[in-house]
Amino acid sequence: MAFVTLKQILLETREKKYAVPSIGADNHVLFEAVLQQAEAENKPVILMIPGFLLKEMDPCFFEYARLRIIQSSVPVCLHLDHAASYEECMNGIKYGFSSLMIDGSSLSYEENVTLTKRVVEAARPCGISVEAEIGHVAGGEGNNNDGNEVDVDAFTNPGEAERFAKETGVDALAIAFGTVHGVYKGTPKLNLELLDEIRGRVEIPIVMHGGSGLSDEDFRNAVSHGISKINFCTGLFLNTTEAARAAIEANGNKMQLPAVLGVIQKRAREEVSHLFEVYHTQSVDLKNIAHK
């Protein structure tokens, strides 16, 4: 079955030195665009929806998402991103996500461990993966257009990352080493030495949040130094919106909705194809990961 967990879809990333894109797709237009491009290139992909949107979205969307993924020809993970509470994670289980990210990064280390362990204990019997964050990536979810600055003081401590992974039993770990959520203020500078140290001490896949604003070289460096999953959301939203705006203006502001949606899907597919190339994403044989 094409519907896989985060643990399964990232299984080969460390050995083969590639990353899988995790792309914001909280509506049918972007969801289909991302999935169709993954199918066209035979590449695995993670489709993510932020936790704060669960209460606002029609539950029928999640039913469509699951059925659409099951019918896909490539491995796909449906990921709940940045759930802020245990309750949001439980709703993610209820709605059929195959992966949950519990974000306790703003809590104390001890509180983060306690919350994360509780989610892992609930999700694991259901066959659902869990991602967590140690350190804190600047910015938040849902209002990122004004831009965010890097907070060096919140970078991940390698020793804490090692302890956290062992104490919680999570399947993937998001770290802070120079990215921000939303629009990037200033010039990005990733601390690759810190990433190397964390990668050397943590056996599970390492995740990079806040990909918007980075150059292709930044992404390639992150992947070559051990990043397995890269979140990409704000950049996709901004670039598809700009493509739609330009097309509407080029047609004398008389463009009808179906044509506008077509422009958005085309630009989204181009963005996804570019991410596959930059992240060096490789095809995955479903039979190799189905029972892992």
Residues tagged active-site: 81
> In this structure, are residues 210 and 133 in contact, taking their beta carbons and an 8 Å threshold?
no
Reference 106, options 172, 176, 49; nearest CA is 176
Q: Using CA atoms, how far apart are residues 238 and 127, in angstroms rounded to an integer?
A: 34
Longest C-alpha distance within the chain, in Å? 59
Q: Using CA atoms, how far apart are residues 44 and 236, in angstroms rounded to an integer?
A: 18
Q: Using CA atoms, how far apart are residues 206 and 197, in angstroms rounded to an integer?
A: 12
